[in-house]
């Protein structure tokens, strides 16, 4: 692995440093950045690689961030992660404070993530799950774009009755992380706090039951295999035309639009719905962005920050179709049609995904313990009790 990395550094240095050196305000030689591997972050990584930095792109990057940053000096200078991975690294004290690093003060406010008044991360893009509905589903049923989950249920029933598809509704309900995220999203619509007195779980109540019941209502209208559906599967169902309604990630919107176009249908993007008469969309706002290893020299930190800011600039946005890959937070960003859903959801005041250090434990417990309720083997009360028991066990360890 190390050899491969050295080889990558060597190639990228040889390929790019000569030809692109003039375009680089920052020399990235000797710096390394870890990231996921979806198109938007790869566009940023390409920019950094062109300036001589080593870039590692790995969809399973979250599993190695903490171990890599705990080394001294850290195995990477920067991580291009998201609020979840940031929280996990930050709670272990592995993230550097960058308030006084040159260039940070000039960033737009929405790009600065702060802890106790100090800047600790640079957000570059926003993501949220939001409603995507095929236009022909709306036309055939004569219904408007739903704004509440109750309307989503009615639309799904009408679409089925109209004979459009057997299971018009779908969603990312795969057991594990996806399922946990669906609960966290739906919970936001209740407006209740998920924790009280610091870390005490607050889900064994009416709001918890209402959340679960709505999830059950939705899944009972989905293909019975819903507990295996991750984002890839949901996107594939749109592309195959076997489903036409879903609350899916904004970062998938362009693909879903393209998939619809291939079938000759338009896909409408809208805000995540509300539930039970509330006004908060049942979704969470995520940011993707850079955070930096605490275990590195001040010079390296300054260079890594400068390189990150230089990579996420207007030049990057102007290249190819980079503008449409993400909902970027840079001032130079101009929204594309694929971004409409994230914009609508953010405009409706969707809360940020909770950045508590104990949130990860709750998320894991939800993803593991809700499956029996959704497959009809357990009551909602029992499922919530199991979640809290699993969460408390993780907390005690």
Partner 1 sequence: MPHRAFFAFLMPSLLAMVLFILLPLISVGYQSLFSPPRDIEVLSEICSTNFLTGVRSCEQTVTIEKVEGPKIFRGLDFFCGRSVLACGELATGWSENKGGTGEYWSKVVLNLPLYKAMAFTMFYTLITTPFIIVLGLVVALVVDNLWRPLRGPTIFASLLPFIVTPLVGSLVLFWMTDNTGGLLYALTNTLAFWVDDFSLRASPQATWSVIAVYGIWHVTPFAFVVFYAGLQTVSQDQLEAAMIDGAPRFDRLRYVILPHLMPLITFVLLIHIMDAFRVLEPIFGFQAAANAQSVSYLIYEHLVLQADKRYGSAAATSVLTIVMVFILLLPVLIRTWRDFRVAAR
Sites of contact with partner 1 (CB under 8 A):
63, 66, 83-84, 87-88, 90-93, 109-110, 112-116, 120, 123, 126, 174-177, 179, 198-199, 223-225, 227-228, 230, 240, 242, 285, 287, 327, 329, 343, 346-347, 349, 351-352, 354-358, 360-361, 363-364, 367-368, 371-372, 375, 378, 382, 386, 389-390, 392-394, 396-397
What is the nearest approach in angstroms of partner 1 to the Cβ of residue 71? Answer: 14
Minimum CB distance to partner 1, residue 53 (Å): 26
DSSP conformation class of 220? T
Distance (Å, rounded) from C-alpha 106 to C-alpha 108?
Answer: 7
Q: Looking at beta carbons only, is 55 or 85 nearer to partner 1?
A: 85
Nearest distance, CB of residue 20 and partner 1, angstroms: 29
Nearer to partner 1, 213 or 223 (CB): 223
Please, what is the minimum distance in Å from the beta carbon of residue 348 to partner 1?
Answer: 9
Q: CB 172 → partner 1: shortest distance, Å?
A: 12
Cα 252 to Cα 254: distance, rounded to the nearest angstrom: 6
Helices (H) and strands (E) in the chain — how many of each? 16, 11
Rounded to whole angstroms, how far apart are CA atoms 27 and 21?
8
Task: Name the residue nearer to partner 1 (CB basis): 202 or 230.
Answer: 230
- Rounded CA separation 365/208 (Å): 14
CB-wise, 19 or 228, nearer to partner 1?
A: 228
Which of the 8 DSSP states describes residue 169? B
Half-sphere exposure in the Cβ direction for 271 (13 Å, CA)? 19
The DSSP call for residue 38 is S
Give the C-alpha separation, 311 to 52, whole Å. 12
Rank residues 52 and 281 by Cβ distance to partner 1 and give the closer one.
Answer: 281
Q: Which is nearer to partner 1, 38 or 356 (CB)?
A: 356
DSSP E strand boundaries for the chain: 32-35, 54-57, 78-82, 112-115, 118-134, 195-196, 200-201, 245-249, 267-270, 285-292, 327-328
Q: CB-wise, 316 or 387, nearer to partner 1?
A: 387
Buried b (16+ CB within 10 A) or exposed e, 298-325: eebbbbbbbbbbbbbeeebbeeeebbbb
- Residue 106 C-beta: closest distance to partner 1, Å: 16
Nearest to 78 by CA among 87, 88, 68: 68
Instruction: State which residue, 148 or 371, has the beta carbon closest to partner 1.
Output: 371
| DSSP E strand stretches across 151-306 | 195-196, 200-201, 245-249, 267-270, 285-292
Instruction: Of 125, 129, 110, give the one whose Cα is nearest residue 289.
Output: 125
DSSP 286: E
Q: Measured from the CB atom, is 165 or 257 closer to partner 1?
A: 165
Q: What span, in angstroms and rounded, lies between the C-alpha atoms of 85 and 80?
A: 9
- Closer of 102 and 108 to partner 1 (Cβ): 108
Is-contact 361 177, C-beta < 8 A?
Answer: no
Q: End-to-end distance of the chain based on CA atoms, in angstroms?
A: 33
CB of 352 to partner 1, least distance (A): 6
State the minimum distance, in angstroms, from the CB of residue 220 to partner 1. 12
Cβ of residue 98: shortest distance to partner 1, in angstroms? Answer: 14
Tokens 């998938």, residue?
252
| Least distance in angstroms from the C-beta of 236 to partner 1 | 10
Nearer to partner 1, 252 or 363 (CB): 363
Q: How far is the CB of 131 from partner 1 (least distance, A)?
A: 17
């Amino acid at each position: 692995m190390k050899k491969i990395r050295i080889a990558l550094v060597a190639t990228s240095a040889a390929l790019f440093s000569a030809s692109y050196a003039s375009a680089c305000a920052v020399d990235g030689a000797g710096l390394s950045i870890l990231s996921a591997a979806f198109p938007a972050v790869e566009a940023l990584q390409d920019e950094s690689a062109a300036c001589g930095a080593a870039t590692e792109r790995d969809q399973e990057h979250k599993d190695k961030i903490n171990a890599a940053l705990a080394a001294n000096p850290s195995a990477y200078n920067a991580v291009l992660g998201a609020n979840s991975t940031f929280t996990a690294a930050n709670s272990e004290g592995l993230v550097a404070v960058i308030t006084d690093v040159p260039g940070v003060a000039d960033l737009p406010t929405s790009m600065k993530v702060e802890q106790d008044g100090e800047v600790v991360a640079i957000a570059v893009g926003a993501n949220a799950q939001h409603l995507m509905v095929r236009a022909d589903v709306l036309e055939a049923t004569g219904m408007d774009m739903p704004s509440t989950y109750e309307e989503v249920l009615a639309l799904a029933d009408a679409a089925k009755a109209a004979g459009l598809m057997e299971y018009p509704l779908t969603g990312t309900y795969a057991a594990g992380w996806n399922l946990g995220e669906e609960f966290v999203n739906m919970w936001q619509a209740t407006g209740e706090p998920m924790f009280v007195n610091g870390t005490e779980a607050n889900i064994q109540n009416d709001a918890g039951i209402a959340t679960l019941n709505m999830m059950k209502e939705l899944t009972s209208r989905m293909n019975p295999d819903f507990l295996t559906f991750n984002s890839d599967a949901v996107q594939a169902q749109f592309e195959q035309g076997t489903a036409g309604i879903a609350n899916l990630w904004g970062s998938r919107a362009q693909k879903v639009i393209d998939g619809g176009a291939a079938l000759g249908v338009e896909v409408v993007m809208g805000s995540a719905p509300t539930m039970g008469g509330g006004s908060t969309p049942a979704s969470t706002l995520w940011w993707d962005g850079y955070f930096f290893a605490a275990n590195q020299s001040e010079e390296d930190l300054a260079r890594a920050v400068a390189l990150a800011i230089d990579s996420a600039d207007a030049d990057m946005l102007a290249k190819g179709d980079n503008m449409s890959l993400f909902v970027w937070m840079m001032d130079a960003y101009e929204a594309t049609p694929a971004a409409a859903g994230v914009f609508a959801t953010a405009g409706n005041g969707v809360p940020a995904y909770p950045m508590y250090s104990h949130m990860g434990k709750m998320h894991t417990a939800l993803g593991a313990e809700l499956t029996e309720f959704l497959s009809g083997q357990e009551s909602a009360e029992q499922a919530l009790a199991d979640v809290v028991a699993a969460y408390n066990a993780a907390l005690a360890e």
